[in-house]
Amino acid sequence: DQQVKQNSPSLSVQEGRISILNCDYTNSMFDYFLWYKKYPAEGPTFLISISSIKDKNEDGRFTVFLNKSAKHLSLHIVPSQPGDSAVYFCAAPAILNYGGSQGNLIFGKGTKLSVKP
Amino acid sequence: DTGVSQDPRHKITKRGQNVTFRCDPISEHNRLYWYRQTLGQGPEFLTYFQNEAQLEKSRLLSDRFSAERPKGSFSTLEIQRTEQGDSAMYLCASSQRTGIESYNSPLHFGNGTRLTVT
């Protein structure tokens, strides 16, 4: 079973506060995770990633945390800005039968973030 | 870097008609992927190419769907005898993979072709 789950369809946050987007996965063989951001009428844009050998990766206002024992990752945005309002997708490369990956990504359903001024 | 380009942006067709979409990947990228996205869902994998070779097809890709990448550059996705259930956003993505160390290269997506079947 290879699934990536985002159980919160939407999140509303005040500008300047922290946004926390959550993602769970089912397969402990996943070894790399990515977050994409999508604006309406545009394709998803890569935001940040994390390898399973790390538990944190930071890039400016964006930090991703990985908890392998819980099969859970989260994206923190601090401080949140109105321009961050978008749909955020969590993704992981699909695992082939022999354990490798072809780079094809499995996506969650996304969380729509609204940052209010 | 001109990004991934998809054409057309929108397509409205009647049920039963055939449609073809085009994707131009980032020029140095050897991998090209097709995804489909419906409302409230994340992108779902359809198929991918490494250079001109189609290496995998999803079970979502019924026999009415065919994809090609004849010279390892642009790709086309054709849907024959369209059905209303084919209405979706069709996304193309590309990446560069030259060895094991680069298999985690992020996919770069185009802005998609929105198909409406009436």
pLDDT at B24: 97
CB nearest to A109's CB, from B40, B55, B109:
B40
- Helix and strand numbers (H, E) in chain B are 0, 11
Query: What is the percent of chain A where pLDDT is above 70?
Result: 95
In DSSP terms, which residues pair with A25 in a beta bridge?
A: A4
Give the position of tokens 């209405």: B87
Tens digits of residue pLDDT in B65-114: 999 998 889 999 999 999 999 999 999 999 987 665 555 678 999 999 99
**Cβ-Cβ contacts under 8 Å, B109 against chain A:** 36, 43-45
d(CA A48, CA A77) in angstroms, rounded, equals 11
pLDDT of residue A103 exceeding 80 = no
pLDDT at A100: 66
d(CA B80, CA B15) in angstroms, rounded, equals 10
From A108-117, B2-11, B97-106, B108-117, the region with the lowest mean pLDDT: B97-106
pLDDT at A67: 97
CB pair distance less than 8 Å for B91 and A32:
no
| CB B7, CB B114: distance < 8 Å | no
pLDDT of residue A93 exceeding 80 = yes
**Confidence bin at B2 (pLDDT 50/70/90):** confident
Report how far apart, in Å, the C-alpha atoms of B76 and of each of B69, B91, B92 are.
Answer: 7, 12, 10
d(CA B30, CA A85) in angstroms, rounded, equals 32
Give the position of tokens 């055939």: B18
The answer to whether residue B54 neighbours chain A at the CB level (below 8 Å) is: no
CB pair distance less than 8 Å for B43 and A41:
no
Strand spans (E) along chain B: 5-7, 10-13, 19-24, 31-37, 44-50, 53-57, 65-68, 75-79, 88-95, 108-109, 113-117
CB nearest to B55's CB, from A6, A89, A102:
A102
Tens digits of residue pLDDT in A39-72: 998 999 999 999 999 999 999 999 999 999 999 9
CB pair distance less than 8 Å for A43 and B107:
no
The distance of A109 to chain B (nearest Cα, Å) reads: 4
pLDDT at A98: 65
CB pair distance less than 8 Å for A9 and B110:
no
**Average confidence score pLDDT of chain A:** 94
User: Average pLDDT of B45-63?
Assistant: 89
Residue B1 or B26, more confident: B26
pLDDT of residue A30 exceeding 60 = yes
DSSP structure class, residue B102: G
The answer to whether residue A108 neighbours chain B at the CB level (below 8 Å) is: yes
pLDDT of residue A73 exceeding 90 = yes
The answer to whether residue A114 neighbours chain B at the CB level (below 8 Å) is: no
pLDDT at A104: 85
pLDDT at B55: 86
**Confidence bin at B59 (pLDDT 50/70/90):** confident
d(CA B1, CA A102) in angstroms, rounded, equals 24
How many cross-chain Cβ pairs, A to B, lie less than 8 Å apart?
A: 65
3-class SS of residue A93: strand
pLDDT of residue B1 exceeding 90 = no
| CA distance between the termini of chain A | 41
